[in-house]
């Protein structure tokens, strides 16, 4: 989803995904660029991207290493977490997705994850095999 503005897209610079809690939805994401906040709606029929001021109070969810306390205690805050190597932890499960390695931001819900990388104006989306988009 998305593209560089010079090629018919909306983004002048690579976007960062915002964390819309509690509004996480596999068909709706918010992104931040130098031009402001954008709402992206996507489904099997296509996607739209338009300016949206509702995302101004949202924060970027960036990949991070697990803290020492979480490693020792074996716990976390229950929220989705993405490590720099592409390891996604969510809902008590963990999977390493090489394609997500080096992500600059991500948004996850129960049945989808989206992420961005620093050298692209696109937002990538992954859903479980067999799930409709």
Residue 95 in any domain: the answer is: yes
Residue 45 in any domain: the answer is: yes
Question: Considering only CA atoms, which of 126, 90, 130, 89 is closest in space to residue 110?
Answer: 90
Residue 91 in any domain: the answer is: yes
State the total domains in the chain.
1
pTM assigned to the model: 0.77
**Banded model confidence at residue 104, pLDDT cuts 50, 70, 90:** very high
Burial class (CB in 10 A: 0-12, 13-18, 19+), 62: middle
46-60: burial string, b at 16+ Cβ within 10 Å, e else: eeebeeeeebeebeb
Give the residue numbers spanning the domain of 49.
5-124
pLDDT of the residue at 69? 46
Residue 74 in any domain: the answer is: yes
pLDDT of the residue at 71? 42
Measure the CA–CA gap between 108 and 115, rounded to whole angstroms. Answer: 9
Residue 129 in any domain: the answer is: no
Residue 133 in any domain: the answer is: no
Measure the CA–CA gap between 66 and 55, rounded to whole angstroms. Answer: 27
Residue 131 in any domain: the answer is: no
Residue 75 in any domain: the answer is: yes
């Amino acid at each position: 989803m998305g593209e560089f503005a010079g090629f018919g897209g909306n983004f002048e610079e690579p976007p960062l995904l915002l964390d819309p809690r509690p509004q996480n939805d596999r068909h709706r994401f918010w992104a931040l660029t130098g031009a402001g906040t954008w709402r992206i709606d996507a489904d099997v029929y296509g996607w739209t991207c338009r300016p949206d001021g509702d995302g101004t109070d949202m924060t970027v969810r960036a990949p991070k290493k697990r803290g020492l306390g979480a490693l020792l205690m074996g716990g976390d805050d229950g929220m989705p977490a993405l490590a720099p190597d592409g390891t996604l932890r969510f809902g008590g499960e963990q999977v390493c997705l090489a394609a997500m390695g080096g992500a600059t931001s991500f948004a996850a819900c129960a049945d989808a994850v989206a992420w961005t990388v620093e050298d692209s104006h696109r937002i990538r989306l992954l859903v479980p095999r067999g799930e409709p988009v």
